[in-house]
Amino acid sequence: MAKKVRVGIVGTGGIARSHIKSLQAVDGVEIVAACDVNETVLKAAAETYGIPKTFTSYRDLVALKEIDAVSVCTPNFFHKEPTVAALKSGKHVIVEKPMSMTVKESEAMVAAAKEANRVLVIGFQFRYSSQAQMIKRAIDEGILGNILYARCQALRRRGIPNWGVFGQKKLQGGGPMIDIGVHIIEVAHYLMGSPQPVAVTGACYTYLGDKPSQVKSQWPNWDYKTYTVEDLAVGLIRFDNGATLSIESSFAAHIEKGIFNFTLMGDKGGACFDPPMIFKDEAGTMFNLSPDFVGDEVAFDEKILDFIAAVRGEKKPTAPGEHGLIVQKILEGVYKSSETGKEVRIK
Least Cα distance to 335 among 230, 244, 263 occurs for 230
Mean pLDDT of 189-214: 97
| Higher-scoring residue by pLDDT: 26, 164 | 26
C-alpha angle 117-123-129 in degrees, rounded to nearest 5: 120
Least Cα distance to 189 among 253, 120, 240 occurs for 240
SS3 61: helix
Which run of H or of E encompasses 71?
strand 69-72
95-105 pLDDT, tens per residue?
A: 999 999 999 99
SS3 345: strand
Least Cα distance to 327 among 95, 125, 122, 140 occurs for 122
Mean pLDDT of 59-85: 97
Enumerate domains of the chain plus CATH numbers.
Answer: 5-118 (3.40.50.720), 127-297+328-345 (3.30.360.10)
Q: Which pLDDT does position 2 carry in this prediction?
A: 77
229-241 pLDDT, tens per residue?
A: 999 999 999 999 9
Q: Decide: 120 and 320 in contact? Cβ < 8 Å.
A: yes
Mean pLDDT of 45-74: 97
295-346 pLDDT, tens per residue?
A: 999 999 999 999 999 999 999 999 999 999 999 999 999 999 999 999 999 9
Q: Which residues contact 113 (CB under 8 A, 6 or more apart)?
A: 87, 93, 119, 120, 321
Q: Which pLDDT does position 1 carry in this prediction?
A: 64
Residue 14 has pLDDT above 90, yes or no: no
Residue type for position 101: M
* Other Cβ atoms closer than 10 A to 161: 18
Mean pLDDT of 214-235: 96
Residue 287 has pLDDT above 70, yes or no: yes
Mean pLDDT of the chain: 97
Mean pLDDT of 273-287: 98
Read off the DSSP letter of residue 341: T
Percent above pLDDT 90 for the chain: 98
Would the CA dihedral through 42, 43, 49, 51 be positive or negative? Answer: positive
SS3 338: helix
The DSSP result for 113-180, as a single string, is HHHHT--EEEE-GGGGSHHHHHHHHHHHTTSS-SEEEEEEEEE-SB---SSTTTT-HHHHSSSHIIII
Give burial (CB, 10 Å; 0-12/13-18/19+) of 194: middle
